[in-house]
């Protein structure tokens, strides 16, 4: 296992290219998503073994509902199966001590089926006391939607007199984000050849380093993550200054 002079405290990963991977092999797109889940599991474990404290995986966006109905249904079925498998392997998951969190619009009455929401919340509750890597899984997630949610929270507090509108701070907005209390991502990884964030962690990634690869997500390996981390360790992060950044005030 590689050693690095510096490691990110939080990595965001856009799991992209599943459908193209399947199409290249003459398979249904759902097979690409199945292959992508296996890579998610492997990369989560490898990153945790390296000592990275926080990971966020983009699993299903607010825009993904526009995909063909059959593909969306297959993805929802895959979520159900994956959650059932996690339940069946709970003792193994306990040893990993991952704190699993699901972020996104998962309110009852929304587009995510309620049986899936119940399973997600149950899994979160069972993993609440785990003290190793936080693994955020973004489901029905959109960065703009998240910022809007945080702004509405701050506006509601102001309307009730708990905040003065002119005194609303970045910290007040951050308190309403799904990732509140976690370090901001310092590295965003996107495989598949696309060069954009696609509405992922828009607020949190303001100073994140971006790393892109042509590898499709189902083909992404530990070596690809190593390559991203090697590149990250060589970058000089100035945060708008001209010299070395001040020590981070974040604790984890």
In which residue are the tokens 């690095």 written? Answer: 4
Tell me which of 18, 64, 105, 122 is the catalytic residue: 64
Q: Closest Cα partner for 79 from 52, 45, 106, 109?
A: 106
Distance CA 150, CA 168 (A): 11
16 belongs to the catalytic site: yes
Catalytic one of 16, 140, 186, 224:
16
DSSP 8-state assignment for residue 64: G
Which phi and psi angles does 62 have, rounded to 5°? Answer: -65, -25
Residue where the block lists tokens 């390296």: 50
d(CA 221, CA 227): 10
| Cα gap 55→58, rounded to integer Å | 10
Q: Annotated catalytic, 244? A: no
Q: What is the C-alpha radius of gyration for the chain, rounded to an integer number of angstroms?
A: 19
Residues 6+ positions from 230 with CB-CB distance below 8 Å: 2, 4
Q: What is the DSSP letter of 55?
A: E
Helix (H), strand (E) at residue 137:
strand 134-141
The residues annotated as belonging to the active site are 16, 64
């Amino acid at each position: 296992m590689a050693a690095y002079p510096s490691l990110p405290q939080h990595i965001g990963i856009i799991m992209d290219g599943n459908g193209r991977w399947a199409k290249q092999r003459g398979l249904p797109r759902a097979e690409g998503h199945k292959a992508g889940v296996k890579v998610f599991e492997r990369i989560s474990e490898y990153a945790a073994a390296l000592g990275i404290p926080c990971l966020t995986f983009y699993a299903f966006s607010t825009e993904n509902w526009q995909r063909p109905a059959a593909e969306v249904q297959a993805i929802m079925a895959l979520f159900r199966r994956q959650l059932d498998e996690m339940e069946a392997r709970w003792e193994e998951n306990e040893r990993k001590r991952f704190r699993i969190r699901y972020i996104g619009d998962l309110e009852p009455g929304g587009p995510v089926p309620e049986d899936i929401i119940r399973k997600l919340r149950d899994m979160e509750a069972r993993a609440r006391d785990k003290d190793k890597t936080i693994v955020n899984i973004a489901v029905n997630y959109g960065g703009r939607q998240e910022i809007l949610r945080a702004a509405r929270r701050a506006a509601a507090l102001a309307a009730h007199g708990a905040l003065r509108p002119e005194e609303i701070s970045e910290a007040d907005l951050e308190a309403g984000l799904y990732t509140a209390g976690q370090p901001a991502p310092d590295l965003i990884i996107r495989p598949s050849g696309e060069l954009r964030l696609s509405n992922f962690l828009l607020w949190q990634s303001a100073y994140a380093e971006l790393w892109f690869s042509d590898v499709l997500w189902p083909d992404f390996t530990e070596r690809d993550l190593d390559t991203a981390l090697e590149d990250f360790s060589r970058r000089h992060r100035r945060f708008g200054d001209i010299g070395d950044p001040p020590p981070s005030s974040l604790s984890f």
